[in-house]
Structure 1
């Protein structure tokens, strides 16, 4: 934990990955994050594999540095406690569909009436004002809608999902920088409620189109979109004699060094090679040469050669290789965080001049409920009444 946001009060009404990752990042930077869960708990708690304490690795990896309270927001008592938490909070984050949060009475306008200085972050699937607003959204759906799944089709392959929860994480980090901007604005004197809306579809579309707008950015037709370098069939991990490697010569000097090393003077002598525009137009041919040459040597031979040639490169790591990667070991990337985990991926942003503090492990369901209620002013009788009404667990 890095104490840059110490004292910031965050109310987290989120589940699975998209919402919880926002709260975890804020907690990693020192915010006091209270996670409100239903009596059934965050859906992610039950996803396999599960650790000895019963919670899943997915839950534990997205909910460190938080406290947990169980409230049934369908009850009057649960909503009363939640209203007190909204008065306590400086930031409120949820990833419920708009109609669902409105049914509970905690849309932006009612919450702003409860707390006129709230930073209200709605992490939604599709932005309000658009015709898709309110639709259900999960990672695969947004990978498809946002253009990720179709990218392989530009290389003659079938559309495919990235085999990772890409859309949730891109959207979560987008939402987080929106919240951080609001926090900064508050610190610079902005008054009144601030509404932050982060939509998965728009976040992923922006992520994909950053380089792929291409000629369409200058007014070309929609069909002119697409960064051609990315669609070359041989821009890919390369097979060596005994494995796989990534190599990416980019400048003329890097290509020249590699082609001289491999004896491909025929390419160096091509009339288009020394002109940047022409070389870019022939990039697919260069990648094909690269693929041919990579297949002639072992992975270790190439790693040594590319290091000496000062050309960007990497071994193609599998998941298990990351867990053994010496650089990640050097920088203490993996560390236990309790909750039954022997290792977790730490917050990747570092502030070397600031002291780290120990992370708080992801909380057991409702583990901090009594403390949170006491903080809100409930006495023993009040807690008992909430339990009796099934509002608090």
Structure 2
């Protein structure tokens, strides 16, 4: 498999019992950085397989990307023989990660106690919706649900005239996935020091509340509160891309240096002497009026004229890019961010690995595998005999797919 095993995590083996996006995104990062990620799926496979578009009805574009570099082992874990096989695989694994609610993983007999008995050094990661010690623990959770529960939807309403709305990205899944990735790496590092495995928990809800409240806790960090839990600069209705004479532009005039440079570029107009522009504190206290005034000024020139002015003044500014624009962005092309290759699913374009390592760079592996494509190979590597593999197949505990890798 191209790309697999190259990177700072080469030699780490992960049993990946996750589906949809949160868990697979976390383990995609591990695969990109060299880990051997064994994706364990049931007989019908990860539901994300079937999201269109795709050349293959069981491997849509999102699945191909978020499961790149992984191998597929298909087991029916409701069968005792499949559970026994998985526990045997765990004996030599470094990480076991799942995205099932606590009750569901417990019913399969695959909780931390079971995995620890098989391998005391294993890192056991729970990625699910809500922390298991709270009253929401058994509630199902998807990205929209957690966005709504975490305060993000309410905050978005402040920017859209009071109408609640979701962010235009599955932010809860991806932030929780990133958090899961760094938590697992931290546990692996601790194991190198102590020799001990451990169980870790990454709940989406708590993760997104932490993410949201970094800036929005604001005055409510104090007891008694000095203000509501809201960072007013971010939630001001005036905070939006600015209309120019011929379009829109993104501008961030943030610190005192930026504002001085902006006023100087405009010839220090009379309105710039208003005390509300004097400091970061005064601008924050009057953020709605500050941004509204700026919006009026931005309408007076074209986008290109503002870009030239802002870049000369070293003020952050950018055109508004669409996802289509990014496919041919000159910076991304110059850095080699997009990786194109011919695969069994046709020619594919992958987003690159965003992190760089001078000595141990990662590499993007092959697109997400066919269901059960690596079932035999994974079991053989772990000491299963051909007779044992055939017995698992006969009992329907093991599934192999078309195009199975030898």
TM-score grouping bracket, smaller chain normalisation: over 0.9
Aligned-pair CA distance for 1:263: 4.7
Q: Distance in 2 between matches of 1:329 and 1:54?
A: 31
Q: Distance in 1 between matches of 2:226 and 2:386?
A: 64
**Among 26, 30, 48, the residue aligned to 1:26:** 30
**Equivalent residue for 1:197?**
201
Aligned-pair CA distance for 1:58: 1.1
Q: Output the aligned Cα RMSD.
A: 1.8
Q: Distance in 2 between matches of 1:340 and 1:136?
A: 36
**CA shift digits 1:212-259 (9 cap, x unpaired):** 000011224496111111122211111122222110111222112223
**Among 28, 41, 44, the residue aligned to 1:37:** 41
Deviates more, 1:259-268 or 1:231-240: 259-268
**CA shift digits 1:153-207 (9 cap, x unpaired):** 334321100121111001110111110100111122x233311100000111011
Is residue 167 of structure 1 aligned with residue 172 of structure 2? Answer: yes
Aligned-pair CA distance for 1:273: 3.0
**Equivalent residue for 1:130?**
134
Secondary structure of 1:349's counterpart equals coil
Is residue 180 of structure 1 aligned with residue 185 of structure 2? Answer: yes
CA contact (8 A) 1:262 1:293 kept: no
**Equivalent residue for 2:377?**
371
What TM-score do the two structures reach when normalised by structure 1? 0.95
Is residue 228 of structure 1 aligned with residue 256 of structure 2? Answer: no
Is residue 333 of structure 1 aligned with residue 326 of structure 2? Answer: no
Aligned-pair CA distance for 1:369: 0.9
Deviates more, 1:150-159 or 1:133-142: 150-159
Is residue 9 of structure 1 aligned with residue 3 of structure 2? Answer: no
Q: Distance in 2 between matches of 1:10 and 1:152?
A: 37
Going from structure 1 to structure 2, the CA distance change for 1:173 and 1:388 (only over 3 Å counts) comes to: same
CA contact (8 A) 1:249 1:311 kept: yes
Secondary structure of 2:131's counterpart equals coil
Going from structure 1 to structure 2, the CA distance change for 1:28 and 1:332 (only over 3 Å counts) comes to: same
User: Matched residue pairs, number?
Assistant: 392
Mapping of 1:203-242 within 5 angstroms?
Answer: 203-221=207-225, 224-242=228-246
Aligned-pair CA distance for 1:271: 3.1
**Equivalent residue for 2:348?**
342
Aligned-pair CA distance for 1:268: 2.4
**CA shift digits 1:338-360 (9 cap, x unpaired):** 34452111221111344554623
Is residue 56 of structure 1 aligned with residue 39 of structure 2? Answer: no
Please list every run of 5 or more consecutive structure 1 residues that lacks an aligned counterpart in the other structure. Answer: none
CA contact (8 A) 1:57 1:341 kept: no
Deviates more, 1:218-227 or 1:203-212: 218-227
Q: Distance in 1 between matches of 2:102 and 2:364?
A: 36
Is residue 100 of structure 1 aligned with residue 79 of structure 2? Answer: no
Secondary structure of 1:386's counterpart equals helix
**CA shift digits 1:94-150 (9 cap, x unpaired):** 001111100000011121112111100000100121111121000000000011111
Deviates more, 1:339-348 or 1:349-358: 349-358
Is residue 145 of structure 1 aligned with residue 149 of structure 2? Answer: yes
Going from structure 1 to structure 2, the CA distance change for 1:355 and 1:149 (only over 3 Å counts) comes to: closer
Please list every run of 5 or more consecutive structure 2 residues that lacks an aligned counterpart in the other structure. Answer: 400-406
CA contact (8 A) 1:93 1:120 kept: yes
**Among 266, 283, 297, the residue aligned to 2:301:** 297
Aligned-pair CA distance for 1:279: 3.0
